[in-house]
Structure 1
Amino acid sequence: MTQALLTMKGIVKTFSGVKALDGIDLRVSPGECLGLCGENGAGKSTLMKVLSGVYPHGTWEGSIVWDGAELEASSVRDTERAGIVIIHQELMLVPELSVAENIFLGNELTLPGARMNYAAMYRRADELLRGLGIAGINVAQPVMNYGGGHQQLIEIAKALNKEARLLILDEPSSSLTATETRILLDIVRDLKRRGVACVYISHKLDEVEAVCDTVTVIRDGRHIATQPMRGLTTEQIIAMMVGREITNLFPREPHEIGETVFEARNVTCLDVTNPRRKRVDDVSFNVRRGEILGVAGLVGSGRTELMQAIFGAYAGTSTAHVLLNGQPLSIRSPADAIRAGIAMVPEDRKRHGIVPLLGVGHNITLSVLQRFARHGALDAAAELDTIRTEMKRLSVRAAHPMLPIANLSGGNQQKAVLTRMLLTHPKVLILDEPTRGVDVGAKYEIYKLIFELAKTGMAIIVVSSELPEVLGLSDRVLVIGEGEVRGDFVNDGLTQEQILTAAIQPAGRRAQPNEANAA
């Protein structure tokens, strides 16, 4: 067996008497990529915070042996000095600083007199990016000029500049396109060839299968198994993660589809920074009672902008004629939409879905506080009773209902936002990327809920970048491309290839139903 670079043994971490980690073991060798899998809230991020020094030595039990010696780090700087670098799911870049300044942040190269040696930093930053196979980035430009995919790769260059021997990637592809994800996986393979060890945390098990040599599964803070990837199937990993076998990820149930309940007509959105450009161009569609409408399209197609305009949340100039049960609505803000019976779970829950420092429970009741008003005061007992009931209904895991929601895993945050929207009793529910950053167990719970809501007659719109998700959930699929409707298809024998064909066809051309469903 190869000499271990890192060994974690019997790691225990407790918060307010509750064990978040209960005896976790981990082992990684040079050039090995370890996949760390588990449901949201299983303890993956907590374990990595122990390893990276966010939780200093002495605040947890167990031992960490690094390159043959006991590691007793008191800070992140200590672990980075040793060669352990973590890339968080939420990128740690300063948008206004240049690419090079971000790469060297805290490790700047200087000239005599403590002046910045920009020439050397630009040269080294360019070398790092080219070494990763990334071309076309001007390292002197602010990092905010580049998209999420490039920023993720800049984070990797930043880590390598710290001479990382162990790189921890936490949900690295959550905001990447398919092409950017392929580049990322190629970079991980190259790092392995150079002898860099990696811990790859992802809910996307196809990525784990593609680059990981070994898989460690943890559940409820406990070590479940560590096995070679070559001897595992995706189904086996899922079973270990959730403690049960999920034979069908999409628990589809028959549901009756009725008359048209919701219509959006002539929706147009102008680009926020360039009003001469249309992000959405005269889009019209409808949804029927009890129907699940999937909305598909490439990144940048205008799907999210379309939903934001309908919900009164688009940041730029937009026009939209919205009808509910045949009656026109005046929607100028999300509050107007919610009052009318339209609810939306936004794509970016961190920016638009949660109030991070507010408690989980208060995030859940934020849209319906008027229900708990009693003679000018808030009935805290009634509110807490509702919070506990709703958290239990959607299995929102939190040590306490008033724990800041920022402390929860991504999947539990998502379920809390969904719970808040359902408390408004909507007639139309818009879900924009409802399972982004969510583990397979939580996905199954969300999918099951979607089918249950459809059975009650709720009209549901699901926007997703994952075509298997669109096909697994939808009764009908609306395809958007460059701000236009490119197809509207009944999901009967529909394939991923047919959706993509519609999405990339020339502007102004709309696929016909018989084209999409042709053999």
Structure 2
Amino acid sequence: MAEYLLEMRGIVKDFSGVKALNGIDLAVRAGECVGLCGENGAGKSTLMKVLSAVYPHGSWTGQILWNGQELKARGIRETEEAGIVIIHQELMLVPHLSVTENIFLGNEITGFAGTLDYAAMHQRAAELMRDLKMPEVNVALPVSQYGGGHQQLIEIAKALNKKARLLILDEPTSSLTKAETAILLDIILDLKKKGVACVMISHKLDEIAAVCDTISVIRDGTHVGTRPMGELSVDQIITMMVGREITNLFPREEHPIGEVIFEARNVTCFDIDNPARKKVDDVSFQLRRGEVLGVAGLVGAGRTELAMAIFGCYPGKSSATVLLDGKPVHIDSPQTAVKSGLCLVPEDRKRHGIVPLMGVGHNITLSVPEQFSRFGVIDQAAEMQTIEKMIRRMRIKTATPMLAIQGLSGGNQQKAVFAKMLLPAPRVLILDEPTRGVDVGAKYEIYKLMMELVKEGMSIIMISSELPELLGMSDRVLVIGEGRLRGDFINNGLSQETVMAAAIGQTET
């Protein structure tokens, strides 16, 4: 019997002559969890797409050994039949189908004359839910009835139903709460005990440290090293990933903070599904020139809705009075917000930040088409000059500015969205979860950029679920709880405990 369940040897994959993978090796034993680490664009997801035959045999060079035998899979069905199942960062569930139907999609149990045996499928689905510590899930209901945490675990149930021997988890906790993340990590530990192997891609290195036995790091498509987790600290993993030591993850610097330039008064948003309920309830705040204003709160507190209402894009009923330099500004759409000097980097870049099939460059200039228009004709040379300048400034890794932006890694897509929102030269920049799904190196670059912008006099509102990030970068922190403003703290020795106490509506003792 082979020592390794999986071996990938010398994997090379290129796109239009650009090597995304250049001789990568990876080995995984049964019951082992390997953490695959690297910056955005390092090649992690590409390597996993090679393994799961999203990129079929023949479109890359090298060798894959599965249980000691060479694997030459031509498609995902072949790798799944072998026992290799990938769970992508974007969940592959059909919202209007039931939990059972999603779990058995393409793998249905049939009875007499080929009819679907729903009783058997419901029973098996319920068993899987119990195994995953979710006995309360009604498997007959549509998956749209359940939140992101439940849906992530339903994806795992779907994989286990395919008798997965190797589970590939690509950023599995990126949209989960802390409690949901804890459940998922426990499940990974249970799967290891049952002999299921895992490859976990995550930028949350504390989670990698909690469940992984081995760490394999790749940088710019090359294999940096593989070491036991027990021999590494989180700081050492970061150094391997970025090729340099980052001693201070939050490069906050002293910068002048001026007069109040922006004010939001009486911001109120009504729940789209239940108009009698307020998602944001009469929130008012001020923002000063050159200030980083952090916005904290639990998931569902109303932070994103607050930002959307100010930016003129809340999809339901809302009201707000917005003042810039003490003068009221009428904002009823993102277009009027941008023209007024207010820009937003949205929480969900896939849905609200990019046009997936459009080129990287045209995504960047989408916010200011008038800058390149002369008598109705686009000055392509001027536009390309601006595109190349922003790609250099943001260090966006792309083979060409014309590459469809969906071909970029998540971190590089995020940098492109930043570039798009900086082109209008806003006076107030709203960042909603700006580093979600972004590696530590790219996070550091985003933080450095924030410091450059506030030194130039721009004001930033940063919404984040990561308290260390908020406390590491903000001058002042607003706390939102159940749609209401529960705290406004100067960040001078401010603790996570104080912020959390305000978020849950309790006075810290």
TM-score, normalised to structure 2, is 0.99
| Distance (Å, rounded) in 2 between the aligned partners of 1:376 and 1:14 | 39
Distance 1:258 1:19 in 2: 48
Residue 32 of structure 1: aligned partner: 32
- In 2, the alpha carbon distance for the partners of 1:359 and 1:290 equals 33
Asked whether the equivalents of residues 6 and 28 of structure 1 are also in contact (C-alpha less than 8 Å), the reply is yes
Counterpart of 1:375 in structure 2 is 375
Q: Which whole-Å CA distance do the structure 2 matches of 1:374 and 1:197 have between them?
A: 59
DSSP-derived class of the 1:167 partner: strand
- Is the 2:2–2:67 contact (alpha carbons within 8 Å) kept by the matching residues of 1? no
What amino acid is aligned across from residue 39 of structure 1 in structure 2?
E
- Per the alignment, residue 438 of structure 1 pairs with 438
Q: Secondary structure at the match of 1:20?
A: strand
1:365 aligns to what? Answer: 365
Map Cα deviations across residues 412-471 of structure 1 (whole Å, 9 max, x no partner): 000000000000100000000000000000000000000111111111000000000000
1:459 alignment partner in structure 2? 459
Query: What count of residue pairs does the alignment treat as equivalent?
Result: 509
Q: Which residue of 2 aligns with 1:138?
A: 138
The offset of 1:254, in angstroms, is 1.1
Instruction: State the alpha-carbon separation in 2 of the partners of residues 2 and 270 from structure 1.
Output: 59
Query: After superposition, what is the alpha-carbon deviation per residue over 1:312-331, rounded to whole angstroms, capped at 9, x for unaligned?
Result: 01010000000001010111
Contact 1:479 1:502 in 2 (8 A): yes
Counterpart in the other structure of 1:181:
181
Partner of 2:226: 226
Aligned pairs (5 A) from 1:108-187? 108-187=108-187
**AA paired with 1:154?**
I
In 2, distance between residues paired with 1:443 and 1:2? Answer: 40
1:349 aligns with 2:358: no
Report the secondary structure of 1:265's partner residue.
strand
The equivalences for 1:146-295 within 5 A come to 146-295=146-295
Could you give the per-residue CA deviations for residues 256-308 of structure 1, whole angstroms, max 9, x where no partner exists?
00100100000000001100000000000010000000000000000000000
Q: Is this contact kept in 2: 1:354–1:405, CA < 8 A?
A: yes
**1:461-500 pair list within 5 angstroms:** 461-500=461-500
Give the 3-state SS of the residue equivalent to 1:347 in structure 2. coil
Which residue does the alignment assign to 1:7?
7
Per-residue CA shift, 1:19-76, capped at 9, x if unaligned? Answer: 1100000000000000000000000010000000111111111100001100010000
Which residue is equivalent to 1:329? 329
Tell me the CA shift for residue 18 of structure 1: 1.0
Q: Give structure 2 stretches of 5+ with no counterpart.
A: none
Q: Which runs of 5+ in 1 are unaligned?
A: none
Which residue type is aligned with residue 432 of structure 1?
D
Give the root-mean-square deviation of aligned CA atoms. Answer: 1.0
> What is the letter of the counterpart of residue 72 of structure 1?
K
**In structure 2, C-alpha distance between the alignment counterparts of 1:115 and 1:497, rounded to whole Å:** 56
Report if aligned partners of 1:8, 1:24 keep a CA contact under 8 Å in 2: yes
Query: Which residue in 2 is equivalent to 1:414?
Result: 414
Corresponding position of 1:72: 72
Counterpart-to-counterpart distance in 2, 1:441 and 1:34: 21
Moved over 3 A (4+): none
Is 373-382 or 296-305 further displaced after alignment?
Answer: 373-382
Deviation per residue, 1:228-278 (Å, 9 max, x gap):
000001111111101111000111111000100100000000001100000
Q: Give the superposition deviation at 1:374.
A: 1.5
Q: Distance in 2 between matches of 1:343 and 1:457?
A: 15
Give the Cα–Cα distance (whole angstroms) in 2 for the partners of residues 455 and 423 of structure 1. Answer: 17
Q: Contact between 1:189 and 1:211, CA under 8 Å: does it hold in 2?
A: yes
Structure 2: distance between partners of 1:130 and 1:357: 40
Contact 1:255 1:455 in 2 (8 A): yes
Distance across 1 between alignment mates of 2:325 and 2:113 = 71
Give the distance between the partners of 1:132 and 1:318, measured in 2 at CA: 39
**In 1, Cα distance between the equivalents of 2:135 and 2:31?**
25
Report the Cα distance in structure 1 between the residues aligned to 2:320 and 2:433, rounded to whole angstroms: 22
What residue in structure 2 maps to residue 105 of structure 1? 105
CA contact (8 A) 1:372 1:378 kept: yes
Normalised to the residue count of structure 1, the TM-score between the two structures is: 0.97
Q: Residue 113 of structure 2 aligns to a residue in which SS?
A: coil
Q: Distance in 2 between matches of 1:342 and 1:32?
A: 48
1:44 aligns with 2:44: yes
Measure how far apart 1:375 and its partner are. Answer: 2.0
Check whether the contact 1:2–1:29 (CA below 8 A) recurs between aligned residues.
no
Q: Which amino acid aligns with 2:270?
A: L
SS at structure 2 position matched to 1:31: coil
Distance 1:269 1:205 in 2: 36
Q: Following superposition of structure 1 onto structure 2, how do residues 55-66 of structure 1 map, counting pairs within 5 Å?
A: 55-66=55-66
Aligned to 2:85, what secondary structure does the other structure show? Answer: strand
CA contact (8 A) 2:2 2:68 kept: no
Equivalent position of 1:504 in the other structure: 504
CA contact (8 A) 2:5 2:30 kept: yes
Residue 2 of structure 1 and its aligned partner are, at CA, apart by 8.2
| Inter-partner Cα distance in structure 1 for 2:15 and 2:284 | 51
The answer to whether the Cα contact below 8 Å between 1:411 and 1:439 also exists between their aligned partners in 2 is: yes
Return the offset for 1:223.
0.2
Indicate the larger mover: 451-460 or 171-180: 451-460
In the alignment, the residues of structure 1 paired with residue 369 and residue 268 of structure 2 have an alpha-carbon distance, to the nearest angstrom, of 33
Deviation digits for residues 355-386 of structure 1 (CA, Å, limit 9, x no counterpart): 00000000000010100001221111110110
